Chain A
């Protein structure tokens, strides 16, 4: 093996390693696999999670669900804001009675259950661990 070949193998190996063990995975916005929703745009997701306009492509009212363990990463990826800023944003809307924040769920198992039970629910999971019965409608890069 000459030096060029060795370099190529080394770089291929390291690329494979990086792909297999992502330093930080992306965030997947998910719905029930049977909801009939194929795809959402980023602005759809902003409208729904930020309480601006909560209509799904199916015509139904969206039920956004915040998952406590991923919440900070999700809003950083969606609108580039931290949780204090998100709380500040909601303080304005809640205390003026304009809109209500997403439902807050502490455990990711409960989020999973809720999405399985409700065709209008949407939440988010780590894109490296999407359960089979959930459908990814949007992936947010981190």
Chain B
């Protein structure tokens, strides 16, 4: 906490000195540099489980204060070859699956826009699977301290290496947008105590249709993810040790932990169906989203949220309700499934035109503990938790 304060002050001053737009680094304006970041502090009142922002985080925020969960820094360099062709490279440092803040290349693509109605991108691209999913680390872009964890926290991937194409067509004063994408990816997620899954994504493909009318933006999307899954942690290690013992007597015994767990979870083929609506008119902001992810084992993750905010001068108070539920066999409610609901209240204060301060209280009703929590007490079967968060978001 004490070490963080001078860093905060230094960053705040650096941000104040910057303009809000991507700054040209050359006289002709072809090379630009810009960035974003968040300094986040979180307080968890639960001693039974640690709070995470998403399933890629190996450790959560335990009882007391933590700055690990939400703090991050991103930077982007762009170069414009012609009015039609440009390139963008973006890196981010945040607490993720490697267990530290090691930076990674989040995007690196070539973009071709031959016409206002067509855009083609090739390279490493944001995974635009839900509305806002490809900007979920850019705190300055939304009112909340973090996007609703119940909805965005279960996403398996952050980027795809591939191609996407976007078509836009005006219809009267409305706009229809179609985006299609395909590529490969990888991800590493924490499923529960002593069990992690490594996604080697051979194929991820999908698309969405957006309809923009006045202040409304609607979206319907569909994505499939085909992966080779490798499990690690104490659970698969113990399983494999037991299978090895059986194999010592029966050489034809061919079960492996990867095979058994793979069949049980069905992560090798995921189908994601999503709907979203965003309303943004003057001081009003409304968002509502819903997603169902189906596994090949007939399991599902259902999630959704509703958020409303109203800006009064520099302050935007907001309310959010979100929920997530997993069902492992289509029946629902069985042992090992996860279910929780979150009621959030918060406010964003725009300090300057490139820096915002936020405070948020989440009341989480954990009905069945699961994969968004870490270090869960084995005898804990849920309850209410309070997460209080402070965030300082900036762009430069």
Chain A contacts to B: CB under 8 angstroms: 41, 43, 47, 52-55, 61-62, 79-85, 87-92, 94-98, 100-101, 103-104
Contact = CB atoms under 8 A, between A and B. Distances in A.
Contact of A55 (B83, B116, B138): B116
- B21, B134, B395 interface centre (most CB from chain A within 10 Å): B21
Nearest to A102: B21
Interface string B350-365: 1011101000000000
A113 B212 CA distance: 34
Nearest to A51: B116
A95 B20 contact: no
A83 B283 CA distance: 13
Give the dominant DSSP class at A's interface.
Answer: mixed
B87 to A, nearest CB: 10
Interface in B133-177: 134-135, 138, 140-142, 168, 170, 173, 175
Contacts of B251: none
Given A91-B138, A104-B21, A97 B117 contact: no
Interface residues of B, number: 44
Interface stretch (B120-128, B232-240, B261-269, B324-332): B120-128
A103 B29 contact: yes
A5 B261 CA distance: 94
Interface in B94-141: 107, 109, 111, 115-117, 121, 125-126, 128, 132, 134-135, 138, 140-141
A9 B393 CA distance: 58
Nearest to B168: A53
Contact of A92 (B20, B88, B141, B350): B141
Sorted from nearest, which 6 A-B pairs have the closest CB atoms?
A80-B282, A92-B141, A84-B350, A43-B173, A55-B116, A91-B141
B20 A53 contact: no
A125 to B, nearest CB: 20
A61 B126 contact: no
A92 B173 contact: no
Contact of A52 (B34, B111, B175, B356): B175
Nearest to B123: A97
B140 A87 contact: yes
A84 B175 contact: no
Contact of A79 (B116, B170, B282): B282
A51 B116 CA distance: 10
B225 to A, nearest CB: 20
A83 B350 CA distance: 10
Contacts of B281: 80
Contacts of B36: 91, 95
User: Chain A CB within 10 Å — which of B168, B173, B175, B353 has the most?
Assistant: B353
B353 A62 contact: no
Contact of A97 (B121, B282, B356): B121
A88 B74 CA distance: 15
A99 B111 CA distance: 10
B44 interface: no
Contact of A87 (B29, B117, B354): B354
A120 B21 CA distance: 22
A95 B109 contact: no
B116 A83 contact: no
B395 A87 contact: yes
Interface in B257-292: 281-283
B76 A94 contact: yes
Contacts of B88: 97
Given A95-B90, A104-B21, A88 B141 contact: yes
Contacts of A61: 83, 115-116
A41 B172 CA distance: 11
A84 B356 contact: yes
A98 B352 CA distance: 24
19 contacts: A43-B173, A52-B212, A53-B116, A80-B281, A84-B314, A84-B350, A84-B352, A87-B21, A87-B140, A88-B356, A91-B138, A91-B395, A92-B135, A92-B141, A94-B34, A95-B36, A97-B109, A101-B21, A104-B21
